[in-house]
Chains A and B, each alone.
Chain A
Amino acid sequence: AQSVAQPEDQVNVAEGNPLTVKCTYSVSGNPYLFWYVQYPNRGLQFLLKYITGDNLVKGSYGFEAEFNKSQTSFHLKKPSALVSDSALYFCAVRDWSSASKIIFGSGTRLSIRP
């Protein structure tokens, strides 16, 4: 069975500092991995995906994620945090038992202090 784990419920970072939101995965097939962001009172937005290729994937709003097969991780990163990055972040993985179904993690709340 496919699953993702987000070990931190909340991450607090000062504005201008680098940020990392952690995600580990478990899959029985090729790992197709995704990050989504949920701003208050708004729907989830797609940030980026890893399907194949370079281990460093670039996405929207200056975010990037690093795929690490040996550590089964797909951490979300940004070199310099903005207050506007404060939101709920979800890691997700394709469920190979069902066409195009993705399974979401429990989410990590990112709080950027000025």
Chain B
Amino acid sequence: EAGVAQSPRYKIIEKRQSVAFWCNPISGHATLYWYQQILGQGPKLLIQFQNNGVVDDSQLPKDRFSAERLKGVDSTLKIQPAKLEDSAVYLCASSLQRDAYEQYFGPGTRLTVT
């Protein structure tokens, strides 16, 4: 069984630039999550999708972050414009269903904003 795929693995941009991350969850997993992990901290949920609908985006900075999950499979997370404090690892995870607490994580995308 293929795991959660993410790309790119690393990205370096200047502040005020835009960046997009891509995630392909495990086949058949209805729930998809995007987390932000700042160095020295635990992952923080940014947004959760159930199929192609948003379940929770309460901690997503909506003035600069956006995410979509068209067709209920792949997802993209975009930052526009980026700030220095957005430097972090962005993790994508998926689970079989909404109340499945075993989440499967991708390797993450390390973003550095200079």
Residues of chain B within 8 A (CB-CB) of A90 are 42-43
Using A42-B107, A43-B107, A46-B103 as known contacts, say yes or no to A100 and B95 having CB atoms under 8 A apart: yes
With both beta carbons as reference points, the residue of chain B lying nearest to A47 in the complex is identified as B102
Residue pairs across A and B with Cβ atoms less than 8 A apart, 20 shown, are: A32-B101, A41-B107, A43-B3, A43-B4, A43-B93, A43-B105, A43-B106, A44-B93, A44-B105, A49-B102, A90-B43, A98-B56, A98-B58, A99-B55, A100-B98, A100-B100, A101-B48, A101-B56, A102-B101, A102-B103
Question: Which residues, 55 to 112 on A, are CB-close (under 8 Å) to B?
Answer: 90, 92, 94, 98-107
Any A CB within 8 A of the CB of B1: no
Report which residue of A42, A94, A99, A100 has the largest number of chain B beta carbons within 10 angstroms of its beta carbon. A100
Q: Are B106 and A100 in contact (CB under 8 A)?
A: no
Chain A residues near B (Cβ < 8 Å): 32, 34, 41-46, 49, 51, 90, 92, 94, 98-107
How far, in angstroms, from A43 to B56 measured CA to CA in the complex?
22
Residues of chain B within 8 A (CB-CB) of A34 are 101
Question: Which residues, 19 to 61 on B, are CB-close (under 8 Å) to A?
Answer: 31, 40-45, 48, 55-56, 58
Q: Are A104 and B101 in contact (CB under 8 A)?
A: no
Q: Are A106 and B101 in contact (CB under 8 A)?
A: no
How far, in angstroms, from A34 to B3 measured CA to CA in the complex?
20
